Homo-oligomer: A and B are copies of this chain.
Amino acid sequence: MDDSVDRHIARWRGKAPFDERVEAIVTRMQFLVKHLAQAKDGALAAVGLQDFEYETLHWLGARGEGGRATPSELAAELKVSPAGMTGRLDTLEKAGLVRRIRSVEDRRRVDVELTSEGRAIWLKAMDLRGEVEDTMVGVLGPDDQEILAALLKRMLLRMENPGRG
């Protein structure tokens, strides 16, 4: 059975010089990410969160109980511009899910931490998000998941270490 990318590529064969495998891989990843975002949007709406809010809470929650992070760290981890992160934190702080604390020893810095309410909502949202992602990744058995994760990792390493081979 064909997916939309197969149809795209077939309709297209011979009309221009390009690598079909590469095209298929890249386009499928783009579509999967887009699908995922849309599906997650729907699921997260149930707890009143938007995707970008959840994503931010998620990486903040990863710091552990009472864990903190600076806006720049979060911006780098989430691959968002510093300005974008300021905007996200504004929204989250206004909603009471996050707290900004100006550092004492270096007053340029700001630490961000989850409020207890933020942590609670994040935990609720994790379940919902998990369902969507499990639906997608769950088509694959555990072995295939391992293989997929490894292949993706090799590509990501290349992108994160431009110097390397």
**Interface residues, chain A, with chain B CB atoms under 8 Å away:** 1, 3-6, 8, 11-12, 15-19, 21-26, 28-36, 38-39, 59, 61-65, 77, 79, 123, 126, 130, 133-140, 142, 144-149, 151-160, 165
Contact = CB atoms under 8 A, between A and B. Distances in A.
A27 B17 CA distance: 31
B22 A152 contact: no
A19 B134 contact: yes
B142 A147 contact: no
Contacts of A31: 79, 156, 159
Contacts of A147: 147, 151
B145 A148 contact: no
A147 B21 CA distance: 10
Contacts of A159: 31-32, 35-36, 39, 136
A141 to B, nearest CB: 10
Given A26-B36, A29-B33, A62-B15, A135 B123 contact: no
A137 B21 contact: yes
B137 A22 contact: yes
A25 B146 CA distance: 9
A157 B140 CA distance: 12
A7 to B, nearest CB: 9
A38 B80 CA distance: 11
